[in-house]
Amino acid sequence: MSKEHENRWSGTGNIGWEPELRDAGATKVLNLRLATGRRRKDGDEWSESTVWVNVPIFGRRAEGLARVLHKGDMVYVSGPIDTREYSKKDGSKGFSVEVFADKVVLCGGGKGQQQQHAAAAPAASGTFEDEDLPF
């Protein structure tokens, strides 16, 4: 399938758990769990729901982003999207959404974390794409 015809997702969300960097054979993978919100009006009432998106990031970008991304950070992510079916502990079927990020932008931090990250890695915030890795 050509890149022009793949299903893609772009959006912002907050990292829900501390990112996990692991070895995946010859490369590294950084796993993010991104909480994205949805707000809608039903009559006079507003309701909010959270959709969890798995975001695997591979290679050198994963290693670099592992140093600057933390739980609570707001990020913009863009990339091909896929769903995966799995069996839950109770035997029922579950579905997960995965976005294979080819673009990650750090938008801000959680409570008090934005200043901490800025002091620790001022040159590492911003947009990270395959073509212009800062690491």
Q: Domain of 7: which CATH number?
A: 2.40.50.140
Task: Give the pLDDT confidence score for residue 129 in this predicted structure.
Answer: 52
> Which regions of the chain are under pLDDT 50?
111-112, 114-128, 130-135
Q: Are 63 and 99 in contact (CB under 8 A)?
A: no
Residue 124 lies in a domain: yes
Bridge partners, 41 (sequence order): 46
Put residue 21 in one of left, alpha, beta given phi > 0 → left and psi -120 to 50 → alpha: beta
Question: Rounded to two decimals, what is the model's pTM?
Answer: 0.70
Domain hosting residue 16, numbered range: 3-38+49-130
Percentage of the chain lying above the pLDDT 90 cut:
56
Residue 81 lies in a domain: yes
Residue 31 lies in a domain: yes
Put residue 43 in one of left, alpha, beta given phi > 0 → left and psi -120 to 50 → alpha: left
